Structure 1
Amino acid sequence: MTQSNHAWRPLAYTTLLLAAFSLMASQTAHAGPLRDWLASRHAQGAPASTDDNATEDDDQPARIDQLPANSRVIKDIAYGSDPKQRYDVYLPAKPNNAPVIFMVHGGAWAIGDKRHSKVIENKIWHWVTQGTVLVSVNYRLVPDAAPLEQAQDVARALASAQQKAKEWGANPQRFVLMGHSAGAHLVGLISSQPDLAKQKGALPWLGSVMLDSAAMDVVSIMESKHHHRFYDKAFGNDPAYWRQTSPLHVLQPNTAPMLLVCSSKRDDSCPQAEAFAKAVINNRAIASVLPENLSHSDINGELGLPNGYTKDVDQFLASLPGFKRP
């Protein structure tokens, strides 16, 4: 493992500097998300769907009426005029200059919701009980908004949450971005070019956690043969737009530290994460990859449970100056 400019390098992680992985980044996206979703639906006795937009973020709403003791939720804070431009805020019992995890759901850019159980439930019980604020964001979806507009929605929501943070007992300078699947792509797109968020009024943030995105290099996906219609529905047929929405191709130097979690059960996710992290490091910034032997769905749903995976993500968060109190 090649050294980077980051003191935090547990052996469980892969910090990417192997050139061979850049060749693997062009591999076609495979059926991980849809296959897992169909299998889970079949196991529950539901009919199989042929809609490529279906992913395992299509789960049940969390029981937000059963929050940890003395915590509370502020629902549907508007950051725009569209009904989808809303976010929820989960507050610990006594927030005091608290850090904030800013969570962006997935769903193939076309479905999903900020209150789905795998998006928030275990994260609430883990981080909110420790004094961290959790913000869960909705954004406009395909076909009403394409991915670049969705990223701009996320940036607007981030700016709004930072502006309101002190009202909640949180610190606007102690934000960490987190997203799953398509949400991880949107977080990656903003994290690659912080100017996009700055233009919407957002302040700098401490770091970003991308949970199992296989779309860090949109250009390679769209130029290759792929089997998922949702890529075509989201990104269209304009190569210039592919580059605009590809985190790898808009990457700026000196970005905030990034952790890319990837499912080793999929063929596409870890190679894309490895190639992207290598590019981040080459641009004088910090990036690490955490492969997990979990399905695409469980990468999201099991984060926050008392396991080694959650511990490793916590270690990344603790490495960010300002996230944990001295």
Structure 2
Amino acid sequence: MNAAPKVLLAAAAAAAALAAPILAQQRGGARLPAECRAEIVKLCGTDRAQMRTCLREKYAELSEGCQSALRERMGTRGGQGAAPPRRIAATSWAEFVSQRVSSTVIYGSHDRQQVDIYTPDDAVGDTPLVVFVHGGGWSIGNRSAVQAKPQHFKDAGYVFASAGYRLLPDTPVEQQAADIGAALRALRAQAETGGFDPERIVLMGHSAGAHLAALVATDPTYAGDAFGAIRGVVLLDGAGYDVPAAMATPTLEMPNLYRDVFGTDPTRQKALSPITHVGGKDAPHWLALYVAERANSKAQSEALIAALGQAGAQAEAAAINGTDHGRMNRELGTEAGAAQTEAVDAFVERVLG
């Protein structure tokens, strides 16, 4: 078996191995490292009945170290009557093959400072580029968590790229935004090899990635000479565009996370708020989608879009019904995510078409 099927089998098997309580000490088995357990709780919550399903869907969003720990734990349980790994359906393998990385751009010395590029077979030098920034609370996630997006955008005639960046606690948000800016500069330098137009880029982010995308697209400090290539910005259910306002909201969903990420200094909170920088040199086109039932995301998205509109940008905020924070991202490019997919497709076509 070659390497790619092994990766898929490992992912499914690791999730299947979690049928028993994942966070509990297992007789004769290995306990997951504390950092990995915390990462899983942050990603999937504490409901053990739902944890296996969650991890099967979001395995790729875990850090490489936690993925490795899960695979090792699966191995230690192999002699304890654990069910054999589930077979991967042919459609899953076909989907994996269709989304193979065409090339990787390395823009720093850290293993997260890399950008994966997915190029259509017929891409030429003037093919526009969609760059995705993953979420994960500024502390987890990785660039491989792209789900159906690469194939969807390739089919639509775009080159797709997924940018990695360093994470908390080792790397503060300022440096994460700087990583995204450096990634954009490195991508543009590789445009000829990647088969895309270095002057036509849509920057898209989900959750924490939406915050970073918005920050980079309102504060030219981060992207430098790549800033002008950002023709449009797509924000998927972000809630941190005005950090002081978010932290003052009584219904803030994760106050401890925001405190850990942005600190308590009002000056720093404002500096890390995209809305603070609106009215300077902003990207010209914006689309902010938010989960209809998520009040904080609605308020933050609409406030940012209103500010951008007043400053002269073409900006729109739209609610997406019948989804949630994770599905907003995971189902983009699929039939299940038709609402957000149609909104994003129309925006990208208008900006890059």
Fold-level match, TM-score > 0.5? yes
Give distance in 1, aligned partners of 2:54 and 2:236: 28
Higher Cα radius of gyration: 2
Identify if the C-alpha distance between structure 1 residues 233 and 102 changes in structure 2 by more than 3 Å, giving closer, same or farther. same
Give the one of 150, 162, 165 matched to 1:124. Answer: 150
Structure 2 partner of 1:268: 296
Gaps of 5+ in 1: 1-33, 49-53
Give distance in 2, aligned partners of 1:211 and 1:286: 17
Structure 2 partner of 1:173: 199
TM-score for both structures, normalised by structure 2:
0.71
Percent of aligned positions that are identical? 31
Is contact 2:112-2:164 (8 Å) kept?
A: yes
Is contact 1:55-1:108 (8 Å) kept?
A: no
Structure 2 partner of 1:301: 330
Give a deviation string over 1:248-280, Cα, whole Å, max 9, x none: 112134622110010112121011111111111
Q: Which moved more, 1:174-183 or 1:285-294?
A: 285-294
Deviation at 1:190, TM superposition (A): 1.1
Structure of higher RCO (CA pairs closer than 8 Å, 6+ residues apart): 1
Residue 238 of structure 1 aligns to which amino acid in structure 2? Answer: D
Deviation at 1:56, TM superposition (A): 10
Deviation at 1:55, TM superposition (A): 12
TM-score for both structures, normalised by structure 1:
0.77
SS of alignment partner, residue 258 of structure 1: strand
Give distance in 2, aligned partners of 1:148 and 1:304: 30
Is contact 2:44-2:54 (8 Å) kept?
A: no
Deviation at 1:202, TM superposition (A): 4.7
Deviation at 1:82, TM superposition (A): 1.5
Higher helix residue share: 2
1:234 aligns with 2:261: yes
Give a deviation string over 1:118-166, Cα, whole Å, max 9, x none: xx22111211123311110110101111111110100000110111111
Structure 1 vs Structure 2 CA RMSD: 2.9
Structure 1 partner of 2:137: 108
Structure 1 partner of 2:9: none
Structure 2 partner of 1:51: none
1:151 aligns with 2:182: no
Is contact 1:100-1:135 (8 Å) kept?
A: yes
Gaps of 5+ in 2: 1-40, 68-91
Matches within 5 A, 1:87-106: 87-96=115-124, 97-106=126-135
Deviation at 1:224, TM superposition (A): 4.5
Work out the number of aligned pairs and report it: 278
Structure 2 partner of 1:23: none
Deviation at 1:67, TM superposition (A): 2.9
